[in-house]
Structure 1
């Protein structure tokens, strides 16, 4: 039987400390149902700052709507368990239709307090308002600090560049030798790294309330577009019927490209080199038979796809934002 390694995460620690502080504050203020501040805090500590703000907003609105239902049904009909059930039958669809369903649990906590009191008074409403202020406020405060993920994002960036380099080296090897024992594992790894990198970059966006996009997210999105091209071109190479002289020209280009998949190179440089490859192709004699024709056609399609690969990179903003003309990778 496999067990996961025991680990206390940063969010777990924040939740425990924040919820305890919230309950202590509620106790200090002599609030009724002070332990509920603990629950309200737990519900609002989310993985990112933006999610926490949305969670607090949703729970405040849901609680206000819940108080309205309590006034109509508890005061209008009776403080009875069946009436409470009737409230939930109508309350849940209302929250869902208004898109505040995330606030259901916290609003039920408030409803339970109102039900338990058997009377809706201003002092009780003030007590509930203070409970929400303490619980939600502490949750927002402990979520102000989020650990930096810049190091992890950079690690993913370097990893994907290394994988692309290996893939291009394998393509060059195949073009020169017409055979390879490559198992293609870098393709699977590249796909996983891109997915993880995009998810982490999106989390970084969510941790900045005034930011709508993240440069790393754009980077991994760009690499994902390039990856689609890499997946398309590989069958064109592995399906070559014969090994023609054009293969060695493309192999030289791919070898050089493989050695420069990093932040210090411009895509323009390799677009120019690819144009030189096209010019060299144009000067070469026409194919003598059908197999040579198919091989040449496949290589032409390959270099056109690689041209698109480079243009995708050229459109990327770049990481050096201090310069107007940011560096662009290949």
Structure 2
């Protein structure tokens, strides 16, 4: 059974609906409960989405009022008239890309239909409901919890997974066989998806911010993971364990101990050049299997250089506490 919990958005929706209904009721508006519905529809996961939701619903509702006036006043307040109006109204809001406002606009249209008479008092009532409902929705959604701690949690977990992956590869290169099932890679993919989604929400909660440093960081890690997934088969299917494997294993173990959000990629690219130099000093392969193993390891080193190059282009994250 899933654990019962009340999130910030749920809490804000409940409070916002109650506030908007109370305000509409205070001003003695007809169908005052509808203000709560309009508020609920405007409480979105981010501030930008909330404003976008209010905009699309305001536009759709305004168009709905115009269509209702033309249809009901020119013809009649009849179910068939309502059906005919909706047949034209729906394609109109679709073409204007405000389809999300269909439900809220329908609420307004039904109020007009139920009134049976289009008047200035009715227009005032509906505009007031929209102002209170949408306004409360936007206002209540201006508060967003700080997600810095959660973003940093994902950063640490992803770095731990990368360290574990490098250690497992190093272990294979030394022993020739391990019981590793690769679950860290699967977990890293999942964590990166969640982390990028969370970081993107942070961008949409700041009107003047176009990017989030954590989002750039997680995107960089995602590119690195693609490289790891691509080259992993090359080092886990070596026909024989050659002398170069121990050198690569030492490099990977060192790298695994220094996976963090800072930028030390230049240092490790220099170490990688030393590894390549050591390769060149070793004897040439004596048989076909050794040749394949050495070629695979050299190609792996080239890909690791690309891995570090991606990290080098990242300026680094400012965090309170770095992993060693």
Normalised to the residue count of structure 2, the TM-score between the two structures is 0.96
- The count of corresponding residues between Structure 1 and Structure 2 is 322
Cα offset, 1:265, TM superposition:
4.9
Distance in 1 between residues matched to 2:260 and 2:33, nearest whole Å: 54
Does residue 46 of structure 2 align to residue 53 of structure 1? no
Q: CA deviation at 1:11?
A: 1.1
- CA displacement, residues 204-263 of structure 1 (integer Å, 9 cap, x when unaligned): 112112212111111111111100111111100111111111111111100100000013
Which residue in the other structure is 2:23 paired with? Answer: 25
1:316 to 304, 314, 317: 314
- Measured after TM superposition, the shift of residue 329 of structure 1 is 10
**Other-structure match for 2:286:** 288
Deviation at 1:264, TM superposition (A): 4.3
Q: 1:16 aligns with which of 14, 17, 25?
A: 14
Partners of 1:315 and 1:96 lie apart in 2 by: 43
8 Å Cα contact 1:264/1:329 also seen in 2: no
Q: Do 1:265 and 1:329's aligned partners in 2 also have CA atoms closer than 8 Å?
A: no
Q: Does 1:258 align with 2:265?
A: no
- Which 4+ stretches in 1 moved above 2 angstroms? none
Aligned residue number for residue 275 of structure 1: 273
Listed one character per residue, the Cα deviations across residues 129-168 of structure 1 (whole Å, up to 9, x for unaligned) are 1111101111111111100111111000000000000110
Alignment of 1:1-330 (within 5 A): 3-320=1-318
SS in 1 for 2:31: coil
Cα distance in 1, alignment partners of residues 127 and 53 from structure 2: 16
Structure 1, residues 15-45: CA drift from partner, whole Å, max 9, x if none? 1111011011011111111111111111111
Distance in 2 (alpha carbons) for counterparts of 1:264 and 1:320? 8
Q: Which runs of 5+ in 2 are unaligned?
A: none
Looking at structure 2, the residues matched to 31 and 254 of structure 1 have their Cα atoms a distance apart, in angstroms, of 70
Equivalent-residue separation in structure 1 for 2:17 and 2:263 (angstroms)? 50
Unaligned 5+ runs, structure 1: 322-327
The structure-2 alpha-carbon separation of the partners of 1:194 and 1:141, relative to structure 1 and needing over 3 Å to count, comes to same
What is the root-mean-square deviation in Å for CA atoms of aligned residues? 1.6
1:287–1:293 CA contact under 8 A, matched in 2: yes
